């Protein structure tokens, strides 16, 4: 133990951090205070770190690798997990506690499958990281799964009135953006990244090979997450009739650059105000999918055109479409009656 120039005492010891040997220093006004801090540290290490400590260490390493959209789901899931288990020693957490946490979260928040799956995935990744770092012998979340028959959320389809307004409002502010999605099925980010160089009007194809996302206020371009996202889609006649080809980014700001988050929000809100539509851009993507199903295309072909990584995603939308259509039919016919004398309904 050595005394520093300011009169305090210090002592170092070798500890293992992330699998590496490093020197950790302890300071105190007296030797006794330093020794007490060293003993307290050893006591903490004997039981291992808390869940929050492991979670923060995992997040520091994992966050830079995540796409912006993934971050939106992971951040609140991380906060909820730390609120539930933060001060607990990670070694003390039992599988039953994690299972109870997930089930209570689903019940209290009425969480649908995707949200619940993200929550469970974050807890599993933190625990798996704890195993990798030697804090755990095995993950207490390893065998935890979501309850069966958990509701899947699918955005409602646009109404027929919304579709009519999109078709008739191409001259409204940002009207062609909605029209493009309706007749291409592009994701919002894919359409925002699209350039005229990606559009082959002569051959009748649009190449989808990138997407726009945001880091804070800054637009960024990324490749699709899977090979299924890279695709060519046909230019439908209804869209071709409205196209006025140019150069560069199709939906650019006044500087010819990609739209910022605020610029996109302002443009879409102006469009909604001008037209009165109630659906989202993603809802229009589902309307395109509906159109493909109604045209009788095989599900695998539809999967290719809309860029779903899994066929199950396409089929989930198909099921949702049929369910909504059945509800509309039921609403229309449930109060029908017929006059037997006249035969009139």
Among candidates 57, 60, 51, 58, which has minimal Cα distance to 80? 51
Cα separations (Å) of 102 from 56, 121, 153?
20, 11, 18
pLDDT tier at 16, thresholds 50, 70, 90 = low
Kindly provide the residue ranges of all beta strands, DSSP E only, lying in 147-302, ordered along the sequence: 199-200, 205-208, 211-215, 218-222, 231-234
pLDDT at 218: 84
Which residue has tokens 């004398």? 341
Q: Is residue 18 scored above 60 in pLDDT?
A: no
DSSP result, 317-345: HHHHHHHHHHHHHHHHHTT----TTT---
- Give mean pLDDT, residues 229-243: 94
Q: How far apart are CA 270 and CA 276, in angstroms?
A: 10
Q: Is residue 203 scored above 90 in pLDDT?
A: yes
Estimate the share of the chain in helix, then strand, then coil, as percent rounded to the nearest 5: 55, 15, 35
Between 236 and 216, name the one with better pLDDT: 236
Q: How far apart are CA 7 and CA 31, in angstroms?
A: 11
Which residue has tokens 């302002």? 266
Percentage of the chain beyond pLDDT 70 is 88
Q: Is residue 153 scored above 60 in pLDDT?
A: no
- Give mean pLDDT, residues 70-85: 92
pLDDT at 82: 96
Among candidates 6, 256, 309, 32, which has minimal Cα distance to 40? 32
Phi, psi at 13, each rounded to 5°? -145, 155
Highest mean pLDDT among 139-153, 186-200, 212-226: 186-200
Other C-beta atoms closer than 10 Å to the C-beta of 20 total 7
- Give mean pLDDT, residues 120-124: 96
pLDDT at 294: 86
Phi, psi at 26, each rounded to 5°? -125, 135
pLDDT tier at 136, thresholds 50, 70, 90 = confident
Q: Is residue 47 scored above 80 in pLDDT?
A: no
Q: How far apart are CA 109 and CA 152, in angstroms?
A: 14
């Amino acid at each position: 133990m050595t005394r520093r120039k300011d009169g305090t005492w210090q002592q170092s010891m070798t500890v293992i951090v992330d699998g590496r040997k490093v020197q950790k220093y302890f300071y105190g006004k007296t030797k006794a205070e330093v020794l007490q801090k060293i003993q307290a540290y050893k006591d903490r290490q004997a039981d291992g770190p808390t869940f929050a400590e492991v979670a923060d260490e995992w997040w520091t390493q994992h966050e830079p690798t995540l796409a912006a959209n993934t971050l939106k789901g992971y951040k609140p899931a991380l906060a909820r997990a730390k609120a539930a288990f933060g001060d607990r020693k990670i070694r003390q957490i039992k599988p039953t506690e994690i299972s109870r946490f997930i089930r209570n979260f689903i019940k209290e928040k009425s969480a649908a499958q995707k949200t619940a799956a993200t929550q469970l995935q974050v807890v599993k990744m933190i625990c798996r990281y704890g195993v990798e770092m030697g804090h755990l012998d095995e993950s207490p979340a390893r065998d935890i799964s979501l309850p069966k028959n958990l509701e899947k959320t699918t955005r409602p389809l646009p109404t027929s009135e919304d579709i009519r307004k999109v078709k008739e409002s191409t001259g409204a502010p940002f009207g062609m953006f909605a029209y493009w999605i309706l007749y291409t099925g592009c994701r919002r980010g894919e359409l925002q990244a699209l350039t005229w160089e990606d559009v082959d009007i002569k051959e009748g194809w649009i190449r989808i090979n990138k997407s726009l996302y945001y880091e804070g206020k800054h637009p960024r371009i990324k490749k699709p997450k899977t090979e299924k996202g890279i695709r060519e889609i046909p230019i439908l006649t209804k869209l071709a009739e409205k196209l006025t080809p140019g150069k560069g980014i199709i939906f650019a700001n006044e500087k010819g650059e990609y739209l910022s988050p605020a610029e996109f929000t302002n443009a879409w809100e102006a469009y909604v105000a001008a037209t009165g539509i109630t659906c989202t851009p993603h809802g229009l993507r589902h309307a395109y999918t509906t159109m493909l199903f109604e045209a009788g295309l095989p599900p695998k072909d539809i999967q290719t055109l809309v860029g779903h990584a899994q066929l199950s995603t396409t089929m989930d939308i198909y099921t949702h479409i049929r369910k909504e259509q059945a509800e509309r039919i039921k609403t229309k016919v449930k109060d029908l009656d017929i006059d037997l004398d006249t035969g009139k309904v």
